[in-house]
Amino acid sequence: MGAQTIILIFTLIIYMIIIFVFNKARKKYSGGKVGEVINLILVTVALLFVADYAGILSAYVDKEMIDIIKALFRTAGLSFLAYGGVRVADS
């Protein structure tokens, strides 16, 4: 097992913990600004998860295309978080 595999397993565990905790919090704090922030975090984590695990497609897609997919999903996740944060702050 290489270092890259260990890192991917570790980040997968972190993503699962984040999703579990915030999904549980979403049920408890539904509605209002706290609910909106929790949804922002969940969507951002989901987009970053897809970006980190786009490498799984390496058997089917060229490496340059995987790098593009990673960059797009990371940018989408951070943009979603920034835009949503501004929207929540304005309300």
The whole-number average pLDDT for the span 71-87 is 94
Q: What is the pLDDT of residues 24-62, one digit of tens each?
A: 998 888 888 898 999 999 999 999 999 999 888 888 999
HEC string of the chain equals CCHHHHHHHHHHHHHHHHHHHHHHHHHHCCCHHHHHHHHHHHHHHHHHHHHHCHHHHHHCCCHHHHHHHHHHHHHHHHHHHHHHHHHHHHC
**Taking each helix axis from N to C terminus, what angle separates 32-52 and 3-28, rounded to the nearest 10 degrees?**
160
Alpha carbon distance 88, 67 (integer Å): 31
Q: 18 pLDDT band (50/70/90 cuts)?
A: very high
Mean pLDDT estimate for the chain: 91
What residues make up the domain containing 41? 3-90
Single pTM value for the model = 0.85
The number of domains in the chain is 1
